[in-house]
Amino acid sequence: MSPWLTIGEVARRSGVAASALRFYEERGLITSERAGSGHRRYPRPVLRRIAFIVFAQRIGLTLDEIGAELARLPPERAPTRRDWARLTRSWSARIDRRIAELERLKTGLTECIGCGCLSIQRCRLANPADRAARLGPGPRYWIGDQPAD
């Protein structure tokens, strides 16, 4: 079995489009080498790295955050299962926050979709207990601020 995969093989195995793989590479999240033909070829462990990127995006990490996480992996050797587990340890708190946010969305769906004001003063969906008001005007959580724990 070859230790290298073509971009088509990586796309097929990971379910991530080749264009997205090239984008990840431009962002420095994955790396490839050029074969003699000039085509990209990826080391087999790239699949685990891509799985990490896909899951991280699904739980709401930005590409910059994902890059920072990946930079914590040991550069001198292939990451072990323990290395990957260390990176994802903080994710459960983040997932809990997402669940709470989705619960809030579900609760306020009918009222707020019909209203649309996103008022700091009265919208409990966009600004529960008005805690976000300390961060500045506007729908803080909708524009990217994170709720404090």
Angle at 16 (CA atoms; ends 13, 20), nearest 5 degrees: 140
d(CA 147, CA 44): 38
Identify residues 95-114 at the interface with ligand FES (CB under 6 A).
108, 111-112
* 122, 133, 142, 143: which one binds ligand FES (CB under 6 A): 122
117 touches ligand FES by CB under 6 A? yes
Residue in 49, 40, 56, 50 with CA at minimum distance from that of residue 78: 49
115 touches ligand FES by CB under 6 A? yes
* 7, 87, 118, 120: which one binds ligand FES (CB under 6 A): 118
For ligand FES (CB under 6 A), the number of binding residues is 12
Check if the beta carbon of residue 8 is closer than 8 Å to that of residue 46: no
Binding site for ligand FES (CB under 6 A): 108, 111-112, 115-119, 122-123, 125-126
